[in-house]
Structure 1
Amino acid sequence: METNPRGIPKSPFVERVEDYVSDKEPVEAVLRKFQEAVSKYKFMEVSSLQRRKVLEEKIPDIEKTLQMVQFLAKEAQARENGEDDEPVETDFELNETLYAKATIVPGKTVYLWLGANVMLEYTVEEAEALLKEKLDTAKHSLTTIAQDLEFLRDQITTMEVNIARVYNWDVKQRRLQKEGK
């Protein structure tokens, strides 16, 4: 069975309904199987949409953090070169709508929140490399999710067309049987 690069199976296109419907597999069973496939594709679509939403929220945060680390690196370099020895005054975000005044003395290390109430100390260079890697990974994931969503929409459409074809074929066969009696 064909799949996309992330293992999502490609749905078959029913050209000849007779190839799918038989005494062993009646129309109802084929329709049920196709409906299950549509349900699975829709579940994968919802899951992908949720992952996309999380990434779309996470990417701006990573970019903002990276910009701040780069700013602090520049300030630390200026401080080291004797160009500027003033601390940096800023508003520190505690929550989405809550800020506190902060005075930062730029140095060679920064602290990054990793999640789950965990914060680690990194050198500025390590922090910048880590954030760039996380940003690249998040953007790549966003691209693959967009591709998966497009693929899933195509598979859902194909399966819905298959269901309609099998159903219409069944209606036609019943009409022919009725006329033949």
Structure 2
Amino acid sequence: MKLLFILLTCFFMKASFSQEATTTIYLIRHAEKADTTADTNLSEAGKERAVRWMEYLVANRIDAIYTSPYNRTRQTVKPLADGLKIKVKEYDPKVMNLFTLAEKHHNQTIVIVGHSNTIPGHINKLLGENIYPDIDEETFGNLYVITISGGKISHELIEM
């Protein structure tokens, strides 16, 4: 009986240690903007999309939210951050590094809100390939999902 207990303990310990940690990164472009000024707010359509992003993402176990330091990105993520009661962290879109964020948030899920000309480039750098082009100026519904598990990176583009 003692031997059986030891064998079962070893089996369950091995099973729990062999489960691979998964880090998930959701990247979205800010929602529709009111005008073309440098630090504009969201339009009414953008505010509606921000709520839709919240409704879609709130069901996930979000551990951290990052946004560039612009009104439109902060406003895009505000409904989600408020709903989850998570403090939003700012990043510099010119120097953001997905490798660093993935390491910092190992085995967690994070959301990053950025821009049409930065999000794809950051993803391509992480993947080591030029897969995603800049986002068209009229496209606001792309959700990029990066999953890191067992040393492998998978990626998906969901158009919403």
| TM-score, normalisation: structure 1 | 0.29
- Choose between structure 1 and 2: higher helix proportion: 1
- Choose between structure 1 and 2: higher strand proportion: 2
Larger Rg: 1
